[in-house]
Amino acid sequence: MRNLIAFIRKYSFFFLFLGVETLAFYLIIKNNHFQGSSFLNSTNQLTGGIYTRYAELGDYLHLKEVNDALSDENKRLRENQIRSFERLFGENILVKDTIFKRKYLYTKAKVINNSTHRQNNYLTLNIGSRNGIENGMGVVGPNGVVGVVKNVSDHYASVVSVLHREAKISVKLKNSSYFGSMQWDGEDYRTVMLKDIPNHVQMNEGDTVVTSGFSSIFPEGLNAAVIKTFHVPEGENFYEIKMQLLNDFKQISYVYVLKNNFSSEIKELESGSEESND
Amino acid sequence: MIKNIITYPFQFVLFVLLQVLILNNIQLGGTINPFLYILFILWLPIETNKALVMGIAFVFGLSIDVFTDTMGMHASACVFLAFARPFMLNILAPRDGYELNVSPTAGALGWFWFIRYAAIGIFLHHFFLFFVEVFRFTEFFDTMGRVLASSVFSLLLISLAQFFTSNTEEKR
């Protein structure tokens, strides 16, 4: 017994190291599994508040880019406005629409924290569950897909960026409607990979890739990326495609969160038909 | 001693804010990120209790983690650095040992000594940090490349920081 105590005392520093390191790893692993319940992350009040202040400081530096993006967007919206269409019949319009029902609701949000250099990147937004944000909602930027909401607190939301090794987004070629999945290889924040496109499909460099609408997170036909290079590796059935992202993830500062009004209905229906198959 | 009680907490806050607000936004070539903050641990006085250094390192790393959403990652790397620090100081000790009340800076122990000390510390910290981040050994050389590249960049920044502060220390 005395030997044991002497042993522990002799190597006490090492045992202390093991103890503290175990605690650190416990935090890492716990955080990976239950991020939602973890209290200490960038959506809490203190760090979220500091990031908000800091993002406000940085706003001035990005005003030019933001203005450009906004005016582009305004232009696009104006073009679609009712005033830019010519009226063909009569003066009165009766709006009693049973054909169209609003499917997607947009909420504007400001990015208060963002990263592009890690293997798994996240964004933090300045809106949370009090603004009606829920887990699993899609996030789009001025030029297309940005990510999917992962965690929400009262006032902030954490978003899994497209630049996340585990993020897969269902997309299709705009010309031919062949669908595949968009993934990041963790190398360059401007390029992503497109997987699962069979080798007989015709395509060109510069072709646009849009969301497929299968996941019901994003509406169909939302811009995602353009094809940069493609080739078929020898003996493979699928293309290896590199795409250029349309959003500049280093400059992104305003985004929109999408709420799909029908998502619960779709999920219910799909899970119902899966059960009846079994 | 009283000076230390004021200086080190101030440095603590300064290094955390500098790292999360400024340096985390600097990336060379997309993936290389400098980590200046470990200079805080390297700079702690030599005769500081080893266990105390470890405790400080854990809290220090954790405060970086809270900002970057990487719970425990920086803390574990900092604790590893705090564990290795006494051995590093031992290996690099001058023949007749350290003088009393000397801090491990270039001003007190010379540039050659400091660069070696910082290089070993930075490499150990980055090695631990990057491998905990990917959590697998399959892409060993890929990760190792990032460790080395970031280490060089961090060493450059830390030497710069040391260069700008060593003058003021001599004046004191």
State whether B21 and A187 contact (CB < 8 Å).
no
Distance set, CA B166 to CA B39, B84, B112, B114, B163 (Å): 13, 24, 14, 11, 5
Q: What is the mean pLDDT of chain A?
A: 82
Domain boundaries, chain A: 169-247
Please report, for the domain that includes residue B119, its CATH number: 1.10.1760
- Nearest CA to A249 out of A152, A165, A144 is that of A144
Lowest mean pLDDT among A8-12, A19-23, B55-59: A8-12
Q: Pick the residue of A12, A17, A153 with the most B CBs within 10 A to test the interface with B by mutation.
A: A17
Distance from C-alpha of A41 to C-alpha of A21, rounded to nearest angstrom: 20
CA dihedral A179, A183, A188, A190 (to 10 degrees): 50
> What does the buried/exposed string (b/e) look like for B78-92 if buried means 16 or more CB atoms within 10 Å of the residue's CB?
bbbbbbbbeebeeee
Contact A24 B72 (CB under 8 A): yes
Amino acid at B167: N
Nearest to B73 among A14, A28, A188 (CB): A28
pLDDT confidence of residue A214? 84
* pLDDT (average), residues A77-92: 60
If you average pLDDT over residues B44-52, what whole number do you get?
87
**What does the alpha-carbon distance between residue A225 and residue A244 come to, in Å, rounded to a whole number?**
5
Instruction: Name the residue among A28, A117, A158 with its Cβ closest to that of B76.
Output: A28
Distance CA A159, CA A262 (A): 21
The Cα–Cα gap between A35 and B65 comes to 14
* 8 Å CB contact of A21 and B30: no
Nearest CB to B54; choose among A17, A31, A189? A17
Q: Which residues of A touch B51 (CB under 8 A)?
A: 13, 16
Chain B 31-50, residues with CB within 8 Å of chain A CB atoms:
31-33, 50
What is chain B's length?
Answer: 172
Residue A202's pLDDT is: 87
Query: Average pLDDT for residues A117-124, to the nearest whole number?
Result: 87
Name the residue range of residue B24's domain. 2-171
| Residues of chain B found within 8 Å of residue A54, distances taken between Cβ atoms | 21
Q: Is the ipTM of this complex over 0.85?
A: no
Contact between chains at A13 and B73 (C-beta distance less than 8 A): no
Kindly write down the DSSP assignment for every residue of B21-89, as one continuous string. IIGGG--BTTTB----TTHHHHHS-TTS-HHHHHHHHHHHHHHHHHHHT-TTHHHHHHHHHHHHHHHHH
Q: Would you call A158 and B69 a contact, using CB atoms and an 8 Å cutoff?
A: yes
Report pLDDT digits (tens) over A91-117.
Answer: 555 566 667 777 788 888 889 888 888
Query: Average pLDDT, stretch A59-70?
Result: 82
Q: Is the dihedral of CA B76, B78, B81, B82 positive or negative?
A: negative
- Report whether B146 contacts B130 (CB < 8 A): yes
Alpha-carbon distance A134 to A157, whole Å? 9
Looking at domain A169-247, its CATH class is: mainly beta
Q: Which of A9, A21, A124 to mutate to test the interface with B (most CBs of B within 10 A)?
A: A21
Q: Provide the pLDDT for residue A89.
A: 54
Q: Are residues A189 and B75, on separate chains, in Cβ contact within 8 Å?
A: no
- Cα–Cα distance measured from residue A189 to residue B29, given in angstroms and rounded to the nearest whole number: 10
Decide: helix, strand or coil at residue A18. Answer: helix
Look-up of token digits 């619960």: A264
Is residue B120 predicted with pLDDT exceeding 90?
Answer: yes
Residue pLDDT, tens place only, A174-216: 888 888 999 998 888 889 999 888 888 888 888 999 998 887 7
pLDDT confidence band for A36 (50 / 70 / 90): very low
Tally the domains of chain B.
1
